[in-house]
A and B are shown apart, each in its own frame.
Chain A
């Protein structure tokens, strides 16, 4: 069973979100990276870009296929994980730590309430 940290929130499209005083760090879940296989390329948004919850905000490509990444909350991109340019495998190896993708300065705190809890996300992937 893939790890699903209890303190994070989840999008049904398999992103995780971690809120630190209004700055939300976003990555993809251990389950998602496992399903995709070895990642070889990550395309990230630009710092300063404004996104709405549900917008496409990047692409991760494994040897098998490309998958879109969606912003789980609305706001402005304030940081991207530049280490992924040379080491996309960080997403496979440490999806909840060094494999984070980008950070959003959240404009609507209520967006978080629309995301899944760890238990709800667990239930979703069990039903897939």
Chain B
């Protein structure tokens, strides 16, 4: 068990690699109740979020979720989050480690908007992920909840009472994330385990998200890194809307910037965060997240490299240079290797 932002959380329940394979091959469940849930309501909610977030909530219809960065005045990422768009208001799920900063920033910028910002610390959250995750979960539920699990489209969500069921995740597999009252979460957790779903800890959560090419806040980006530099350019909507951090992003788009790319190790060892990357032209970069990929049987990483990095690079591991290939992430989707050398 480790202390994770004030929560006692297991790195693994048994073997981390077996938990990883369970999610890729069948189904695993993560207790992600540490994630911070925030409701944004009021007649000014839409305008407020269009100012606060670098992605545009107008991009999606009610009943859909949207991934976005929340940026500071310099375009640095204060946090990455998911917005669930309802008919008249919004729910946000932000990272636990950045909870206080996020809430303070959100309050600070709420002036002038008719919004109410309220944390929902009463809700728990379970992520059930894997090729059989939806079938097994639906089999344990009734009525509208079972139907939602079976029929939701990717990034769609539905609500039934205090339950919010979303077809989202952080693993690169199919599955759902369910926000629900704490007492219900314990019952569902026990039912899932009885149905053969593997309890899965933070360790496998990290190897799964890295194989899926998904960023981890604090590793792959922070408030000194812009979305352009963190492979989050696809989340930016640079229309004429004046959101926080927009101008620095426009400047950087014009002037160029470092990039977050994938690496696959061809030499010996394991890629880890903060190892130095040496490019053939003498330029340098740094690994932001690295691990051994249980699915690929190789070491993989995300690395911030100078613009246009391709081909072979060297990584300095314990004072020795080890060759690696620059690739386009993700590494794994739906159980299969999908990365391509660039």
Q: Which residues of chain A have a CB within 8 Å of any CB of chain B? A: 37-38, 40-41, 43, 59, 61, 63-66
By beta carbon, the residue of chain A nearest B202 is A64
Contact residues of B: prevailing secondary structure: loop
Question: Contacts of A37 on B, CB cut-off 8 Å?
Answer: 11-12, 15-16, 203
A21 CB to nearest chain B CB (Å): 33
What are 19 A-B residue pairs whose CB atoms fall within 8 Å in the complex? A37-B12, A37-B15, A37-B16, A40-B270, A40-B292, A40-B299, A41-B269, A41-B270, A41-B292, A59-B318, A61-B269, A61-B270, A61-B292, A63-B17, A63-B292, A64-B11, A64-B16, A65-B272, A66-B270
For the complex formed, measure the closest distance between the CB of A40 and the CB atoms of chain B, giving whole angstroms: 4
Chain B 264-278 interface mask (CB, 8 Å, partner A; 1/0): 000011101000000
**B292 proximity list for chain A (CB < 8 A):** 40-41, 61, 63
Q: How many residues of B contact A (CB 8 A)?
A: 16
A37 to B272, CA, bound (A): 16
- Complex Cα distance A61/B292, Å? 9
Given A38-B17, A41-B268, 19 additional A-B pairs, CB 8 A = A37-B11, A37-B12, A37-B15, A38-B15, A40-B17, A40-B292, A41-B270, A41-B299, A43-B269, A59-B318, A61-B269, A61-B270, A61-B292, A63-B17, A63-B294, A64-B11, A64-B16, A64-B203, A66-B272
Cα(A90)–Cα(B124), bound, Å = 39
Q: B17-60 interface mask toward A, CB cutoff 8 Å, 1 = contact, 0 = none?
A: 10000000000000000000000000000000000000000000
Whether B272 lies near A63 (C-beta < 8 A) is no
From A38, A41, A66, give the contact of B16 (CB < 8 A).
Answer: A38
Kindly state whether residue B295 has any CB partner on chain A within 8 Å. no
Q: Is B268 in contact with A63, judged by CB distance below 8 angstroms?
A: no
Number of A-B residue pairs with CB-CB distance less than 8 Å in the complex they form: 37
- Is B291 positioned at the interface, with any CB of A under 8 Å from its CB? yes
Nearest A residue (CB) for B292: A40
Is B269 in contact with A63, judged by CB distance below 8 angstroms? Answer: no
| CB of B200 within 8 Å of the partner chain | no
- Residues on A with C-beta less than 8 A from B318 are 43, 59
Write out the residue numbers on chain A whose beta carbons fall within 8 Å of the beta carbon of B16.
37-38, 63-64
**Is B288 on the interface with A (CB-CB < 8 A)?**
no
* Contacting residues, chain A, for B15 (C-beta < 8 A): 37-38
Q: Residues of A contacting B270 with CB < 8 Å?
A: 40-41, 61, 66
B171 proximal to A (CB < 8 A): no
Residue from A40, A43, A59, A63 having most chain B Cβ neighbours under 10 A: A63
B207 CB-CB contact with A under 8 Å: yes
Q: Which chain A residue shows the least CB distance to B320?
A: A43
Chain B residues, CB < 8 A from A61: 269-270, 292
Please report the C-alpha to C-alpha distance between residue A37 and residue B15 in the assembled complex, in whole angstroms: 7
Residue from A37, A40, A41, A59 whose CB has the most chain B CB atoms within 10 Å: A40
- Considering the complex, give the chain A residue whose CB is closest to the CB of B294: A63
Residues of A within 8 A of B268 (CB): 41, 43
CB distance from B160 to the nearest CB of A (A): 37
